[in-house]
Structure 1
Amino acid sequence: MAKENNPNSNPKKFRISPWWIYGGLIVFFLILNWASGSTKLEEGGKITTSKFLPLLEKNYVDKVIIYNRSEAEIFLNKAGLADPANKKVTKDLFDNENTGPHYVIEDVGDTKSFQEKLEKAMAEGKLKDFDYKAKSDWSGILIGLLPILLIVAIWLIIMRRMSSGGGAGGGGQIFNIGKSKAKLFDEKTDVKITFKDVAGLEGAKEEVQEIVEFLKNPEKYTNLGGKIPKGALLVGPPGTGKTLLAKAVAGEAKVPFFSLSGSDFVEMFVGVGASRVRDLFKQAKEKSPAIIFIDEIDAVGRARGKNNMSGSNDERENTLNQLLTEMDGFGTNTNVIVLAATNRADVLDKALMRAGRFDRQIYVDLPDIRERKEIFEVHLAPLKKAEGLDTDFLAKQTPGFSGADIANVCNEAALIAARYDKKAVDKQDFLDAVDRIIGGLEKKNKIITPEEKRAIAIHEAGHATISWMLEHAAPLIKVTIVPRGQSLGAAWYLPEERQIVRTDQMLDEMCATMGGRAAEKVTFDRISTGALSDLEKVTKQARAMVTIYGLNEKLGNITYYDSSGQSEYNFGKPYSEDTAKVIDKEISDLIEGQYQRAIKILEENKDKLNQLADILIEKEVIFKDDLETIFGKRAFGEAVEEVFEE
């Protein structure tokens, strides 16, 4: 009953598509052209004056009508229709009796001579009547206008498509193409997210809490002479919850929330972006206090004059100029706060970043272990999970994961549990989900020869051995030689979450990374292409030590890192050719030094390396227990709990 009485539950109305109208008009004009051209006559209905005169002499013609003194229509009498020679014109196109005209003369030639012959025939009683009439060729006029009408119709369709979905009050019409595309979330109905729905991000929530207080009670601050901030920029890696945090601000403040992407301003037409910016701030001011949230603002806020391919009249720059004016120009908007999000703050224009526009930059970092636990608890709520599932355990297994990654882990775990017809999602499902996301899908059917399998096992055992022997290398959790994704084998570590990294820690990590290739060298006295990803990783680490962090004695305390991001537009390097040679040599020396160190460690433990590889070939997967059985307890006071079970 409730559904029947609901005024909004109307049945779908029949809608006429504009294409039907355009198609109907075209068919109408084609039929009109065909019908007017045929004049209800079959082939043979058009004759000349020379063929008309014999009909007139035989007394077959009833009457003649002459149009515009050039075209004549011939109507036959009963005697003429009875003649078999005129059988073709007795029926019309639809096989009905033809009431006339039966013949048409398109050009009578000499009008005076033709008239004299008609008058003579009337006088002799061979013609009943003839008459002159004016004829308006409407079909010809309409057919002449048909191409113009088609062009106008096609133009209207194209412009309608280009401006469809054109934002507030747009209705998809061409005249609303300059309207803002922002989606309005009404504070009374739409915005339901609060800070309770945002797990983790404690520091960022504290920063934006003051913005909420400004919007709820502005007099508290303005009475003391303070000004409401114009904007806040949320900066951080993808998936850390910047958009969610902005929605929570709107939900807490209970104010209208305009949400759009930076790319919504950019259009192929000059001036449209600036027009949309003006319209957006106009709408926000009318509903003030309000929040404008611009996601991925780097699409429109990139530094001006840095794009060498653009001309002086760049549409994106015009849009940015209008945005700068609206945020802090002469027409200052009151009680309108702009929130923006980006993961590329280094490329934004300096004028956009200054105080008075974006007064605050809030860094939304990857969650730590405590925050990851809170995020897991949020995403685990809708799942049917096994009893006693330890969220602390899950948080430890996902270092470096963002909020979006954790949501993906929970969803993947539920899919894996459903794949095996389980009634609840348990601990092993989450471990498999982490493996699936980090390493890729298992490829157990991949064809690998015994020789290749041995080489892969030795390579992975080399990583495991070096990481177990070195103090600062990340403790190993699990090793597998089952192919995953693009890799033939994989090793899982539980890295320590450090805030700063020292030289000896980086060198130990590099040595562990080179352990795979070093194991191949020690065992087979030859190397393979299997260490590509290891070489890529260790080269990046060595280059960072030399050119970014100033951890090289030869170069000293110097860095070539540019935090402004402007170095990507420079054609030259910030150092000389001689320095470039030194950098290359130091990077090579660092990598080769750790490679030789790994070889030395493995030669001292060659028996244990081969023993570990044999277990790996037999079981395909080994865990921390297997390493402790071969090497004994780790001698560096490791406090990592046993988190995988065989």
Structure 2
Amino acid sequence: MNNKGFNWFIPVLLGIILLIFLPGLLGDSMVKNIDEKEFYGLVQQGKVNEVMVYRDSFKADVYLTKEAKSELQKGEKKSDPLSMINVKPSPDFVLTYGDLRYFQEKFDQINSKLPKQARMEFGKSQGFFSDLLFTALFWIGIMALFYFVLFRKMGGGAGGPGGQIFSIGKSRAKLFDEKDKIQVTFKDVAGLEGAKEEVQEVVDFLKNSEKYTKLGGKIPKGVLLVGPPGTGKTLLAKAVAGEAKVPFFSLSGSDFVEMFVGVGASRVRDLFAQAKAKSPAIIFIDEIDAIGRARGKNNFSGGNDERENTLNQLLTEMDGFGTDTNVIVMAATNRADILDKALMRAGRFDRSIYVDLPELHERKQIFEVHLAKIKLDPNIDREFLAKQTPGFSGADIANVCNEAALIAARNSHESVTKQDFLDAVDRIIGGLEKKNKAIKPSEKKRVAFHEAGHATISWLVEHAAPLLKVTIVPRGRSLGAAWYLPEERQLTTTEQMLDEICATLGGRAAEHAVFGNISTGALSDLERVTKQAQAMVTIYGLNDKVGNISYYDSSGQSEYNFGKPYSEQTAKVIDEEISKLIETQYQRAVSILTENRDKLDALAQKLLDKEVIFREDLEEIFGKRAWDPELTEKPVSSLDNPADAGNVLNTES
């Protein structure tokens, strides 16, 4: 409800109620019904003045003479409510007749013998008030639709209180200026040294532009933040808004999207007009892939696509005739591969800053920021926490800290302990622990050997990831899980990938070696090794028979192709090589487990007894790994890139 204007809702509601109940209030519902015998008696007595016959409803309204009406109302102080206005009064009786022809002949026969004859007229059953009601409801519905849909939803959101339809093309960006005190600064952004340095330079451009322009340099027009979800792209933008001390316009890419043609382009024009009026200024567009997707890839809707019109207008505003160099556009996305090439060129987004997942020392800094708000046990080691969370983003680390605080409160601890953090990491990676889940002893034994098979193979092959923890306690949808800590590497060799496939197949191989049959518990393992083998053959060119050929398309163009980039004969060879590669490593895993059957049985029995085992338990059974480095841990990174296989925290289940 808008308190500044007149509220039409209550008058409209009262009008609808009045129109619905007006006929009843005027007496239509109080009219007495009579049958044909009574009607003919009234006609014979000369009391009927007029009869209105409705052919479509087999009803008739009977109007008495003045004398008969006075006699009928004798002794009652009752008057017709319509007698004071120039409207036909309501009938005195309502008659329901049968056959119209018989009814008319009988009426004429009696009426012809009377000195003062009654009139008979014919009409439609719907009266004045019914027509008025339907007409009024129709127009009220039209006006309500027009008011609420167009004026309220479209005008109000863009133009603020009192906004009307003419403000639909206005920008929805939220402005932060010197009046708004933004609490986030660069001190709150931990771990992103390289990205933070480049973004700080953008702020310095606006504060001390003469420092750069006097040497002939130009201020960059656009900065694109690219990286996996949760790495701090939007946080960097908030820090820029808090540090820049210039007008900062913040909005999402979806704010330009509308069902009406031309609205998105109009909002882009209005956004840049506001920014130029307040220049120097910064525009931040979060999730720019909503409007910046490459043109012409999926244009099934026709040539006049609204999203493409919006993108064209954005391209023109960023680098076209009459552009202002004092307006810098910042944008963030995790789908840079699908952005239009014209948007990515120099002169529009001059700088592309990759915000990567944090490494070991960066994770330690992020923990320092989030742990400052938590009541901690004095013995908490930040270095240890950073080592336990390889491949975690900044958002994941914040979630770990919050989850650890919740677990500590659930266990009635006075402070958050080391075990609370370990439980939080397990909860986030593996899911909720389900100790009460009913599992048959035979199934529990199979799960124990399955997980022991993973642990055994990963311990006995050189390039498999070192083991952290194995459990047969159900978590989430899995009946057991194993955690591994992969080493940091930017390149992966064929031998390393083969060892990883062999270790992943160790669970099913253990079932085959011990029980002589296999189960459905290796679904996630099979899915992983299949994708990894496909990547070796079709992407990385690591197969001798297929050769040094890659069918990977980094541009994303193949997403909309309906055909394969190779022939049917080549497809057959690829399928054969993938199957051969996986089966070879499976037989290798079976062979290793058969040779070390006593150690496999000992490890599985320890799992059944303790339910959770750690690296130290494997060292007791197998001894130390010959190829392990000294007891120093290396920093671990994780990249969401097909070229960086093996650099993620593996959870086998």
Specify the code of the residue in structure 2 equivalent to 1:91: K
1:550 match:
541
The answer to whether 1:247 aligns with 2:238 is yes
1:138: how far off?
Answer: 11
Aligned equivalent of 1:597: 588
1:482 alignment partner, one of 473, 482, 485: 473
* RCO comparison, higher one (Cα < 8 Å, 6+): 2
Match in the other structure for 2:186: 195
How many angstroms does 1:476 deviate by? 0.8
Deviations along 1:539-578, whole A, 9 cap, x unmatched? 1112212222222233333322111111111122222223
Alignment-derived partner of residue 356 in structure 1: 347
Contact 1:168–1:183 (CA under 8 A) maintained in structure 2: no
Aligned: 1:27 with 2:17: yes
3-state SS, counterpart of residue 178 of structure 1: coil
Q: How does 1:15-94 map to 2 (within 5 A)?
A: 18-32=8-22, 34-35=24-25, 83=71, 85-87=72-74, 90-91=77-78
1:528 Cα deviation after fit:
1.4
Q: Is the alpha carbon distance of 1:146 and 1:611 closer, same or farther for their aligned partners in structure 2, counting shifts above 3 Å?
A: closer
Contact residue 188 and residue 254 of structure 1 kept, 8 A: no
- Distance (whole Å) between structure 2 residues aligned to residue 342 and residue 99 of structure 1: 74
Note the C-alpha offset of 1:395: 0.6
Give the Å deviation of 1:249.
1.6
**Counterparts of 1:471 and 1:445 in 2: how far apart (Å)?**
37
**2:231 and 2:357 in contact (8 A); partners too:** yes
Structure 1 251/89 Cα, relative in aligned 2: closer, same or farther at 3 Å? same
Distance across 1 between alignment mates of 2:226 and 2:75: 86
Q: Quick check: 1:402 aligned with 2:389? A: no
CA deviation vs aligned residue, 1:207-234 (integer Å, no higher than 9, x gap): 2222111111122222222222111111
The CA deviation at 1:630 is: 0.9
8 Å CA contact 2:299–2:305 kept in 1: the answer is: no
Match of residue 117 from structure 1: none
Residues 233, 360 of structure 1: 8 Å contact kept: yes
Aligned to 1:273: 264
Summarize the alignment of residues 60-459 of structure 1 with structure 2, pairs less than 5 Å apart: 83=71, 85-87=72-74, 90-91=77-78, 104=89, 144-145=135-136, 147-163=138-154, 165-167=156-158, 169=160, 171-459=162-450
Partner of residue 111, structure 1: none
Give distance in 2, aligned partners of 1:322 and 1:416.
50
Partner amino acid for 2:12?
Y
Q: Residue 121 of structure 1 corresponds to which residue in structure 2?
A: none
Q: 1:104 to 1:17 in 2, by over 3 A?
A: closer
Match in the other structure for 2:53: none
Instruction: Say which SS state the counterpart of residue 602 (structure 1) adopts.
Output: helix
The amino acid of 1:309's aligned partner reads: F
Aligned counterparts of 2:90 and 2:490: Cα–Cα separation in 1: 100
* Alignment-mate amino acid for residue 308 of structure 2: E
**C-alpha distance in 1 between matches for 2:48 and 2:536:** 111
Relative distance call for 1:36 and 1:506 in structure 2 (3 A) is same
- Mapped to 1, the partners of 2:299 and 2:515 lie a distance apart of 53
- Once the two structures are superposed, what CA deviation does each residue of 1:97-125 show, in whole Å capped at 9, x if it has no partner? x9999994889xxxxxxxxxxxxxxxxxx
SS in structure 1 opposite 2:517? coil
Contact 2:31 2:91 in 1 (8 A): no
- Which amino acid letter does the alignment assign opposite residue 614 of structure 2? F
Q: What is the alpha-carbon distance in structure 2 between the residues aligned to residue 482 and residue 293 of structure 1?
A: 46
Q: Say if 2:510 is the partner of 1:519.
A: yes
Preserved contact between residue 75 and residue 102 of structure 1 (Cα < 8 Å): no
- CA gap 1:21/1:221 in 2 versus in 1, 3 angstroms: farther
Q: Distance in 2 between matches of 1:406 and 1:93?
A: 81
User: Is structure 2 residue 497 aligned with structure 1 residue 510?
Assistant: no
Equivalent-residue separation in structure 1 for 2:90 and 2:551 (angstroms): 93
| Contact 1:459/1:516 (8 A) holds in 2 | yes
Provide the secondary structure at the position in 2 that maps to 1:376.
Answer: helix
Cα deviation, residue 310, structure 1? 1.8
1:167 is paired with a residue whose SS is helix
- SS of the equivalent of 1:180 reads coil
Q: Is the 8 A contact 1:462 1:609 kept in 2?
A: yes
| Aligned positions of 1:545-624 closer than 5 A | 545-624=536-615
Question: Which whole-Å CA distance do the structure 2 matches of 1:641 and 1:421 have between them?
Answer: 35
Tell me if structure 1 keeps the 8 A contact 2:48–2:64.
no
Tell me how far apart the structure 2 counterparts of residues 276 and 484 of structure 1 sit (CA, whole Å). 48
Instruction: Provide the secondary structure at the position in 2 that maps to 1:411.
Output: helix
Aligned-residue CA RMSD in angstroms? Answer: 3.5
Deviation at 1:37, TM superposition (A): 6.9
Distance 1:321 1:478, change over 3 A: same
Partner amino acid, structure 2, of 1:233: L
Find the aligned partners of 1:265 and 1:256 in 2 and give their Cα distance.
20
Question: Tell me, what secondary structure is at the counterpart of 2:555?
Answer: coil
Measure how far apart 1:169 and its partner are: 4.5
Write the distance in 1 (CA, Å) between the matches of 2:438 and 2:450: 18
User: TM (normalized to structure 2)?
Assistant: 0.81
Q: Give yes or no for contact 1:200–1:375 (8 Å, CA) kept in 2.
A: yes
Q: Which amino acid aligns with 1:234?
A: L
- Pick closer, same or farther for the CA change 1:168–1:638 going to 2, 3 Å: farther
| Cα shift at 1:194 | 1.4
How do residues 485-504 of structure 1 correspond to structure 2 at under 5 angstroms? 485-504=476-495
Q: Is the 8 A contact 1:417 1:429 kept in 2?
A: yes
Amino acid at match of 2:17: V
- What letter corresponds to residue 374 of structure 1 in structure 2? Q
Deviation sequence 1:110-153 (CA, Å, 0-9, x none): xxxxxxxxxxxxxxxxxxxxxxxxxxx99987985553244222
Corresponding residue SS for 2:73: helix
Which letter does structure 2 place at the counterpart of 1:90? K
Structure 2 residue 457 is the aligned partner of structure 1 residue 466: yes
* Farther-moved stretch of structure 1 (442-451 vs 391-400): 442-451
Distance in 2, matches of 1:56 and 1:445, equals: 88
What is the TM-score of this pair, normalised by structure 1? 0.82
Identity %: 69
Secondary structure of the equivalent of 2:582?
Answer: helix
Structure 2 residue aligned with 1:633: 624
Give the conservation status (yes or no) of the 8 Å contact 2:269–2:317: yes
Aligned length: 581
**1:89 Cα deviation from its structure 2 partner:** 5.5
2:111 corresponds to which residue?
A: none
Quickly say closer, same or farther: Cα 1:526–1:423, change in 2 above 3 A. Answer: same
CA deviations 1:41-78 (Å, max 9, x no partner) are 9659xx9xx98x97899xxxxxxxxxxxxxx99989xx
